[in-house]
């Protein structure tokens, strides 16, 4: 078979991925074909290099600087599904499965790390080039994020523990708008103790979460007030103390975000009065 190579690059045009294909063969005059061809809809005269490799037209591709040798003599699997559009260089087991250390490239991903039974397993780095354009570095188990790892996608970043592709355990998350969370997760949701900051909204919360909501005991600070007490499903619910920006302190009980029942109100000058509320509305008061 002739000497063949190609390079893999990203074009900003329409946000698509492209292969730049160059093919040489022994005895040929020079480059037979060279051009840009979208992976998602390749022109007939310029097929995807990985597809060409699967059809034994070439034996080597380069993905983001990684030279990947195509081996037609082993079973090619990704996440348990047979695939023809991939190139691999690395170790194989006695059953010709990817096992041990290797590099695997497909039309939308590049993985460098450990394998077991042709699945990502152990430590590795996975980059995706579809609409997500994300990168994960950490541990895998049976093809999924598992144990500690770092996921990046644009200005988004999560670093912490995973359980079968879901955030689970201690972690830290930063969003593009500046939102920041550090705490515990359960099945991809904030659950347990954590700290949430949303600078654009002027909000900061420290305390207990459940299913991404404030739930349990915590302290919520906004531009107008600070509340310390009990929450339920994201709302003030139970006993708590509210301090307003006018330095007025309200101690009482909340139901679904509303003051309900007898509350003690202390003014900025230290004057105290008792006020009865019904779903946030004053019923009566006495000094």
In tens, the pLDDT along 89-140 reads: 888 888 888 899 988 888 788 999 999 999 999 999 999 987 778 999 999 9
Bridge partners of 278?
Answer: 281
Q: How far apart are CA 268 and CA 112, in angstroms?
A: 62
Report the pLDDT value the prediction gives residue 68, as an integer from 0 to 100. Answer: 62
Residue 36 lies in a domain: no
CB-facing half-sphere around the CA of 107: CA atoms within 13 A: 19
Output the CA torsion 180→183→187→189 (10° steps): -40
What does residue 53 show for φ and ψ, rounded to 5 degrees? Answer: -65, -40
**Contact status, residue 253 vs residue 259, Cβ threshold 8 Å:** yes
**DSSP codes joined into one string, 105-125:** EESSEEEEEEEETTEEEEEEE
Tell me the whole-structure pTM to 2 decimals. Answer: 0.70
Residue 19: predicted pLDDT: 29
CA distance 5 to 21: 8
Q: 47 with 38: CB under 8 angstroms?
A: no
Q: Contact at 8 Å (CB) between 138 and 149?
A: yes
Q: Give the confidence band of 285 by pLDDT, cuts at 50, 70, 90.
A: low
Give the range of the structural domain holding residue 258, as residue numbers without chain letter. 224-286
User: Does residue 273 belong to any structural domain of this protein?
Assistant: yes
Tokens 């490239």 sit at which residue? Answer: 105
Q: What is the C-alpha to C-alpha distance for residues 10 and 188, in angstroms, rounded to an integer?
A: 31
Q: Of the residues 137, 154, 171, which one is the last residue of a structural domain? A: 154
The last residue of one of the domains, among 97, 131, 154, is: 154
pLDDT at 192 over 80: yes
User: Average model confidence (pLDDT) for the chain?
Assistant: 77
**Per-residue confidence band for 30, with pLDDT thresholds at 50, 70 and 90:** very low
Domain contains 259: yes
Four-CA torsion 120, 15, 55, 124, nearest 10 degrees:
-20
Domain membership of residue 279 (yes or no) is yes
- The distance from CA 234 to its chain's CA centroid, rounded to whole angstroms, is 23
Total number of domains constituting the chain = 2
Domain boundary among 126, 154, 182: 154
Pairing of strands 189-198, 34-38: unpaired
């Amino acid at each position: 078979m002739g000497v063949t190579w190609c390079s893999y690059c990203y074009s900003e045009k329409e946000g698509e991925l492209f292969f730049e294909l160059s093919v040489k063969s022994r005895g040929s005059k020079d480059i037979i074909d060279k051009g840009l061809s979208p992976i998602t809809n390749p022109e007939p005269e310029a097929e995807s290099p990985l597809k060409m490799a699967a059809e034994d037209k070439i034996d080597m591709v380069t993905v983001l600087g990684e030279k990947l040798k195509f081996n037609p003599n082993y079973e090619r699997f990704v996440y348990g599904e047979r695939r023809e559009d991939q190139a691999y260089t690395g170790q194989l087991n006695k059953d010709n499965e990817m096992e041990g250390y290797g590099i695997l490239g497909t039309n939308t991903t590049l993985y460098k790390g450990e394998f077991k039974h042709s699945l990502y397993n152990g430590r590795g780095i996975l980059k995706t080039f579809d609409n997500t354009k994300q990168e994960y570095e950490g541990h895998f188990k049976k093809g999924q994020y598992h144990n500690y790892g770092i996921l990046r996608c644009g200005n988004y970043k999560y670093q912490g523990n995973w359980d079968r592709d879901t955030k689970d355990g201690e972690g830290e998350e930063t969003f593009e708008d500046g939102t920041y969370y550090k705490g515990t997760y359960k099945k991809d949701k904030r659950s347990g103790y954590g700290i949430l900051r949303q600078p654009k909204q002027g909000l900061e919360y420290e305390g207990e979460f459940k299913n991404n909501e404030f739930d349990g005991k915590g302290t919520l600070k906004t531009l107008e007030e600070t509340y310390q007490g009990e929450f339920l499903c994201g709302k003030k619910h139970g006993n708590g103390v509210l301090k307003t920006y006018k330095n007025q302190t309200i101690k009482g009980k909340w139901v679904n975000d509303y003051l309900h029942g007898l509350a003690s109100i202390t003014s900025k000058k230290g004057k105290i009065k008792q006020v009865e509320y019904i779903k946030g509305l004053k019923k009566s008061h006495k000094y």
